[in-house]
Chain A
């Protein structure tokens, strides 16, 4: 019988990491993810694993770089301003082809912003975030259970593709307490990592690096990374579709907003408005084809997000002008289901041929 426990999203992500065999956690306090760091401070040492409160986010992500280079499963967590600081390390992790897991419990910005929920880091998360030509896999949890599951799965994805996996949550999901089912069966073991720095006993030395100075060497490296990213696009794409097949208006929303949109779909349909929902689970890769397919019958699309409009650009890019795309964006709070229905109805009305 699996354990069912009441946990905050932050604690659930920590337990998901522990379940996945995370060997080392490196963090730096920032609201609204402090429970996460405190949880790991309590749990990791009692399991004989590594916890360090680093001197900065720069140091924390660099410790992740080191532990991962040494072939172990390592992670860090933070919130938006801290994630900005970690971008340096994430770029080096990408360049060095290292697996790593980063959880971002987003708060509002820019700058110090606030400590309330936001989805304002979508662009940063889905476009690489740091310097250089790279990608990170981005998972968008919508519940404490997702925090557990996605953080655990992030380690497998990170190891499989040797890249950074970002779990993009927000203050609602991090702070909210919900029941979480912890699986009975053990997590799959990590794959062998012959590339890791472990001391060169019985083999030639290996080097973990992101500097490629030789003629064409960097270009070849970039092509190699590009191949990895195409593979991720083919294999790792995930989304949920809710009553999309006959929908006139398809809502597109991730994370917390997708929960309100589920309610809006039910409420809209009860009132005769045929709504559907596409909920991207991976924000990169983005479920563009699912959106294109829905455009076969849907009249319009409405992006619902906690920002002034970021994900909406990916919806528009997917549709390439095929259908009107509306935006319901609130930067610091979710929109209510009734408001979503009203906006969807108005969008449908305005997109009907005159």
Chain B
């Protein structure tokens, strides 16, 4: 009998520490499924970021590192350059990737480092208790923007995919959403494609996930999903921002 649904081998059989309604668990699963599908678990090395996902190494059954805050891409680069046979991915939040680690993010992309970057944008700093992120939306209230984010004072939400798409280095950049089963199915194909950009084309790939944080948005899980679909996608449009291998990559099976 062929099982229709089971725990991916790459996902550890344990309960995560993530809040109810958080997107991390879904994104972990998508990554685990892709690693299983490509059959690369035993040569994969992942980066767990400082932030909510710092304990991702407890949940993903692959070799992992825990870089300093923001240095995630640089550590991934160090590993990939000396072990090109490994599949190296980083899992990063908006603070790690787009604030303290902006330089590492931009330059790894610009050199076209053959790593796969998963960028979880939930528009807020989760682990430290709900502060402003570089991707916090205008008027969004956080503990450090108690009257709402004011672009002229706090700066504007940074659109990472659009910014990196100005560079020549990257191979594949796409923004997806953790909002509905349809969005998640599409996100799954993006994750797979991002890995294959590395394994098949030795190129840089980044997938940005718009992801719910009900706890710090002070919304219920369903409201948070609606917020992703209706509000966040307005500021962060979904879509493919770079696809150098569009024709070379065979279509991802549904």
Contact = CB atoms under 8 A, between A and B. Distances in A.
B75 interface: yes
Given A198-B83, A199-B43, A208 B65 contact: yes
B86 A70 contact: yes
Contact of A200 (B63, B70, B83, B103): B63
A163 B63 CA distance: 21
B63 A67 contact: no
Contacts of B67: 62, 65-66, 92
Interface residues of A, number: 40
B54 A62 contact: no
Nearest to A93: B68
A50 B107 CA distance: 17
A201 interface: yes
Nearest to B85: A199
Contact of B74 (A66, A200, A206): A66
Contacts of A66: 65, 67, 74-82
Contact of B66 (A52, A205, A210): A210
B228 interface: no
B147 to A, nearest CB: 33
B223 interface: no
Interface in B57-72: 57, 61-68, 70-71
A89 B78 CA distance: 13
B64 A197 contact: yes
A74 B78 contact: yes
A62 B43 contact: no
Interface string A58-78: 111011111111111010000
A195 to B, nearest CB: 10
B94 interface: no
A73 to B, nearest CB: 9
A26 interface: yes
Contact of B104 (A50, A59, A209): A59
B63 A206 contact: yes
Given A55-B107, A201-B43, A74 B82 contact: yes
B68 A62 contact: yes
A116 B75 CA distance: 32
Interface size class of B (residues with CB under 8 A): 35 or more
A23 interface: yes
B145 interface: no
Contact of B77 (A58, A63, A206): A63
Contacts of A210: 66
B63 to A, nearest CB: 4
Contacts, number: 135
B86 A198 contact: yes
A211 interface: yes
A207 B86 contact: no
Contact of B42 (A71, A199, A207): A199
Contacts of A72: 82-83
Given A70-B86, A88-B68, A197-B45, A63 B78 contact: yes
Interface in A27-73: 50, 52, 54-56, 58-60, 62-72
Nearest to B67: A62
Contacts of B188: none
A202 interface: yes
Contact of A24 (B42, B45, B74, B82): B82
Interface in B21-60: 41-45, 48, 54, 57
B35 to A, nearest CB: 11
Contacts of B62: 199-200, 205
Contacts of A67: 78-79, 81-82
Given A70-B79, A199-B45, 10 more contacts: A52-B111, A58-B71, A197-B63, A198-B83, A199-B43, A199-B87, A200-B63, A207-B64, A208-B65, A209-B66
24 contacts: A58-B70, A58-B74, A59-B71, A62-B67, A62-B78, A63-B75, A65-B78, A66-B74, A66-B80, A67-B78, A68-B78, A70-B86, A72-B82, A74-B78, A92-B68, A197-B45, A197-B64, A198-B63, A198-B86, A199-B42, A205-B61, A207-B57, A208-B64, A211-B66
Interface of A: 23-24, 26, 50, 52, 54-56, 58-60, 62-72, 74, 88-89, 92, 96, 197-202, 205-211
